[in-house]
Structure 1
Amino acid sequence: MADQDDQPTTAAARVAPHHAGHRERLRERARTAGLHHLPDYELLELFLFRSQPQGDVKPIAKALLSRFGSFAAVLAASVEDLMTVRTEDTRGRIKGVGMETALDLAALHEVARRVALEPAVKRPVISSWTALLAYVRVALQHEPREQFRVLYLDRKNQLILDEIQNRGTVDHAPVYPREVVRRGLEVSAAAMILVHNHPSGDPTPSRADIDMTRQIVQAAKSLSLEVHDHLIVGREGVTSFKQQGLM
């Protein structure tokens, strides 16, 4: 009588999953051809391999890009929004983005934000305006909800603190001028740059944006704090209040 290991295998057992060897093939292509040659979904797959060490992650990568619209938007999505993404594999099993995967993606966005910030803080912000605009795009261009930030500067116009003052909804983030100015005094700032995003994509200032900016400028002026600019970030670009003659 043959041992159990010598028993012939069934046809079903011999059929390997369709994605068998895919990870090794993808890594090999990344090594030989270069990461820059990979389409977005495959680059995202490589990253998902870390938090999902087994199984086919291609459907998840494609579902993320489909849901949020771009690689940058995937990374900018909140952990809660990422965890709502679900897909179905070839066996009809539902797979999704768990907490570990969502945190990995959020961490990648934070890495990108800090890398973009470095050139802007090595010199006075006013003299490195191009680097500042690149930074605020990375930080806010694809944020799904409105966010109001303040860049507090010292007397040499170097960054002291980049602080999120408030997060809001898809079209509103409450801003309290006294709190903005009070925080500036706490960190011994001499000036500040206001920054917020429009999740709609259009960076055109609203009447509420203009009125709120004027309130902050007046409150700051009374305490010898200067407001250099207010930047509104959208997917269509960045609007400067100073350049638009709005302050």
Structure 2
Amino acid sequence: MDGSRHLAEGPQPDLWAAPAAPITAPRPHYHGHRDRLRERAGRALDVLPDYELLELQLFRSIPRGDVKPLAKALLARFGSLAAVLSASPAELKSVPGVGEAVALDLKLQHEIGLRIGREAVRKRPVISSWSQLLDYVKRAMAHAPREQFRVLFLDKRNQLIADEVMNHGTVDHAPVYPREVVRRALELSSSAIILVHNHPSGDPTPSQADIAMTKEVVLAARSLRIAVHDHLVVGREGVASFRALGLL
């Protein structure tokens, strides 16, 4: 048998045929989504739902890919946009897909908002800008996952000298040391203070422990002629004022 003839049997490639077109992968379903979302945001940013605002922020720290699932996962984990921004870096990074860059960018947005609110309070006497003060403390503390105790130190014109977190605690308790509060007020030459703490449960109703602690601070401050203007308890459901409730 002729070996060369045997090899020639069967279909042979056409050496003169045009090369086959390359196989291209289908475009991902989110192709062009970023451009479309940016265009919509440019027309009316205020009408976008929370998850799309969060997507726009995530675009900055995750330059490629579909971030919509991550935005929705963050909102599902923390419950609201405000709670996402209030979460600690460690809590944010517990969500799959959130790394150092994403956590830092989200906390940056939160800090910028706080400083804007603080400036609005700092420019005028606190007593005459009470609504701005309430907005500020809600932004700062309403969605914090753990209790914190902070003090607003005021000068003799009731303008804000400093806003300091004096202590962090657990989900239902932050230790308060009246002597430390008064000592810090003296260091800052503060004439008056406003106590503020949050209830992570969401309900701002003062507890008996809150009432007892406030009395201790008032007594310690009174001996040094430092006024306690109010004690605000912040929760997701609102802000309770000791003075408005007749507790101070």
CA shift for structure 1 position 7: 5.7
- Give the match for residue 108 of structure 2: 107
- Give the match for residue 72 of structure 1: 82
- Give the match for residue 205 of structure 2: 204
- Give the match for residue 145 of structure 2: 144
- Give the match for residue 179 of structure 1: 180
Q: Could you tell me the TM-score, scaled by structure 1's length?
A: 0.91
- Give the match for residue 26 of structure 2: 15
Matched, 1:53 2:54: no
- Which SS does the other structure have where 2:52 is aligned? helix
CA shift for structure 1 position 111: 1.0
Cα deviation 1:154-203 (Å, max 9, x = unaligned): 01110000000011111111111111110000111011000000000000
Q: What fraction of aligned residue pairs are identical, expressed as a percent? A: 64
- Which SS does the other structure have where 1:61 is aligned? helix
Cα deviation 1:40-92 (Å, max 9, x = unaligned): 11111011000000111000000001111111111111111000112xxxxxx
- Give the match for residue 48 of structure 2: 38
Counterpart code for 1:155:
K
CA shift for structure 1 position 228: 0.5
- Which SS does the other structure have where 2:243 is aligned? coil
Take 1:8 and 1:145, find their aligned partners in 2: how far apart are those partners? 60
Counterpart code for 2:52:
E
Cα deviation 1:6-56 (Å, max 9, x = unaligned): 76322xx33011111111111111123x11121111111011000000111
- Give the match for residue 62 of structure 1: 72
Take 1:17 and 1:167, find their aligned partners in 2: how far apart are those partners? 45
Cα deviation 1:203-222 (Å, max 9, x = unaligned): 01111111111101101111
- Give the match for residue 92 of structure 1: none
Looking at CA atoms only, which structure, 1 or 2, has the larger radius of gyration?
2
Taking only aligned residues, the RMSD between alpha carbons, in angstroms, comes to 1.4
Counterpart code for 2:33:
H
**Structure 1 gap segments, 5+ residues each:** 87-95
Take 1:109 and 1:199, find their aligned partners in 2: how far apart are those partners? 18
Take 2:120 and 2:50, find their aligned partners in 1: how far apart are those partners? 26
- Which SS does the other structure have where 2:166 is aligned? strand
- Give the match for residue 91 of structure 1: none
Which of these residues, 9, 24, 31, is aligned with residue 35 of structure 2?
A: 24
Write the mapping of 1:97-136 to structure 2, written as runs, cut at 5 A: 97-136=98-137
Matched, 1:82 2:92: yes
- Which SS does the other structure have where 1:44 is aligned? helix
CA shift for structure 1 position 244: 0.9
Say if 1:225 and 1:20 are closer, same or farther in 2 by CA, change over 3 A.
same
Aligned length: 232
Take 1:59 and 1:23, find their aligned partners in 2: how far apart are those partners? 14
157-166 or 17-26, which deviates more:
17-26
Moved over 4 A (4+): none
- Give the match for residue 233 of structure 1: 234
